Structure 1
Amino acid sequence: MNKVVMIGNLTKDPEIRTTNGGHSVCTFTLAINRRIADKNGERQADFIPVVCWRAQADSCAKYLQKGSKVGVSGTMQTRSYQTQDGSNRQITELIADEVEFIANIKHKEQDSEDYPY
């Protein structure tokens, strides 16, 4: 079974692009605080890359920004790729099935009628 549910805050504004096939894909990173503090009493965070597709990608790009709190459910997926310098890399990403907007800072250019909160 591969089902993941996470709540965290975006570390920077989401990035959106369009595939060669015309599908929207949006990526962002969630900062998720760990429940237990380390030996110095500080809470560490994990940084999880998230990928959204199609209409969900468009909504995330339009309404989310750095600091937004979201809940994401989906599946974890690992893939490998080669960098321009020829080194091999591996990345684990959360492929979103659902993104729930929990708290957000309103974009300056958005009208209140346009905003889903």
Structure 2
Amino acid sequence: MNQFYLVGRIAALPQLQTSPAGWKTCHILLDVERPFANSHGSYESDLLSIEVWRGAAETLCATAQIGSWVTVRGRITGSRCEYEKEREKEEARIYNLVAEKIEYIHCP
């Protein structure tokens, strides 16, 4: 089963765009706190970029506020990317987080 669940705060306002196929899309930057303290006793967080599509993207762009707490359920997609390093072709895997459902928990 390919699913992820995240809870975090919106760190930057998403910008609505249109794909070449005509679908609405945006990326949301989510600040997600780690579930454990570091060696200094403080909790670090990760900034994760999440793809949002179609109606969910339009709704999110119309209602998002920086600092709002949201839950995101989605899937992880992967693709291969070729690049040249020191005149030799290398291959890397790129992973994207794609939202399937976003719900607000609290708005500031």
The residue number in structure 1 matching 2:102 is 99
Normalising by structure 2, we get a TM-score of 0.81
**Which structure has greater strand proportion?**
2
Number of residue pairs aligned between Structure 1 and Structure 2? 102
* Structure 1 residue identity aligned to 2:25: V
Q: Sequence identity of aligned pairs in percent?
A: 26
How many angstroms does 1:30 deviate by?
Answer: 0.9
Contact 1:10/1:67 (<8 A) preserved: yes
SS in structure 2 of the partner of residue 55 of structure 1: helix
Which amino acid counterpart does residue 101 of structure 1 have in structure 2? Y
Partners of 1:89 and 1:12 in 2: how far apart?
28
CA displacement at 1:43 relative to structure 2: 0.6
Q: Structure 1 segments of 4 or more deviating over 4 A?
A: 80-83, 88-91
In the other structure, the counterpart of 1:32 is 32
- Give ranges in structure 1 of 5+ residues lacking alignment: 106-117
**Gaps spanning 5+ residues in structure 2: where?**
84-90
- State the AA in 2 paired with 1:37: A
Q: Judge which range, 60-69 or 91-100, deviates more.
A: 91-100
Q: TM-score, normalised by structure 1?
A: 0.76
Please tell me the root mean square deviation across aligned C-alpha atoms, in Å: 2.2
